[in-house]
Amino acid sequence: MSIPTRVKLVDVGPRDGLQNEKQPVPAAIKIELVHRLQDAGLTEIEVTSFVSPKWVPQMADAASVMAGLQRKAGVRYSVLTPNLQGFEAALKSNPDEIVVFGAASEAFSQKNINCSIAESIERFAPVVQAARAAGIYVRGAMSCTVGCPYEGEIAPERVSYLAGLMKGIGVQHVGVADTIGVGTPLKVQRAMEATLKHYDINDVSGHFHDTYGQALANTLICLQMGVWQFDTSVAGLGGCPYAKGATGNVASEDVVYLLHGMGIETGIDLDKLVDAGKFISDFLERKPNSRAATALLNKRVA
């Protein structure tokens, strides 16, 4: 398999990135972040989650954020929907894509969405059916595909099992997530291969948190397998409230730098992306968690 010549990045910063922030981020700031990402050339943005506000208070403004967007032609806006209640709320804000999210680990499924893997699939099935009937694309996120904060290492067979269940209910695309960023390339390759038993290479993506600094290496091995879709988070924002200690997704800026350096097209303007990351980092009163952004910002000052 040859390395792809073009890669699609889904910036999950507004959702995965901000969901873990303790201080409330006003809807206007979230909206501005999405606008800056689309101006930087992102063609898919994971905007928010229609989840219980008791579970994830930061996402309580999902409907306002979606309502405030000035949508740009050619950009797809996705949202997380864990159940029919979330889907029905999401439907009113016209997402292009919805994301059901399950886990390869039983313990993480319980902690994150309060049900077993089997129960989660039962909950997702009517959501998938309703979304597809409404012409909305359905992506599935598969958490803990290499490691789980509660169960430790996860075997590829667990990933294959979940991918098969997702396929069985009509999920069109699945993301292979290293939720806690413990994966290293060969383990990630095995999780991806387990997924590819059920999904075509064009219907899978990588979603790598960078807790141990392995996400770029994990991205590279997936590129070598022919995977051309990845979730990344501007300024490396984020983490999951149910995976304590795990840091954000790999920074979009770092992945764009890697891809452009390899001659792979993304359609993204790295300078504008760095500006978007600086914008949200300034609001959060911290530096962007991206080596490439730091280097480029230092170069500007010099």
Binding site for Mg ion (CB under 5 A): 16
Cβ closer to Mg ion: 180 or 296?
180
Identify the sign of the CA torsion 76, 80, 82, 85.
Answer: negative
CA 152/CA 213 separation, integer angstroms: 18
For residue 77, the partner it binds in ligand HMG, Mg ion, none, with Cβ less than 5 to 8 A by kind, is none
Cβ closer to ligand HMG: 233 or 281?
233
Window 38-67: contact mask with ligand HMG (x via CB under 6 A): -----------xxxx--xx-----------
Shortest distance, CB of residue 53 to ligand HMG, whole angstroms?
Answer: 6
Window 273-302: contact mask with ligand HMG (x via CB under 6 A): ------------------------------
Shortest distance, CB of residue 207 to ligand HMG, whole angstroms?
Answer: 5
Minimal CA–CA distance to 232: which of 93, 73, 44, 26? 44
The answer to whether 144 is a known catalytic residue is no
Q: How many CB atoms lie within 10 A of CB 74?
A: 10
Query: Tokens at residue 119, please?
Result: 């129960």
105 binds ligand HMG (CB under 6 A): no
159 binds ligand HMG (CB under 6 A): no
Q: Is 245 exposed, middle or buried (0-12, 13-18, 19+ CB in 10 A)?
A: exposed
CA 51/CA 55 separation, integer angstroms: 7
Tell which one of 34, 227, 240, 296 touches ligand HMG (CB under 6 A): 240
Indicate the residue type of 267: G
For residue 56, the partner it binds in ligand HMG, Mg ion, none, with Cβ less than 5 to 8 A by kind, is ligand HMG
CA 257/CA 219 separation, integer angstroms: 12
Any idea which residues carry the catalytic annotation?
A: 240
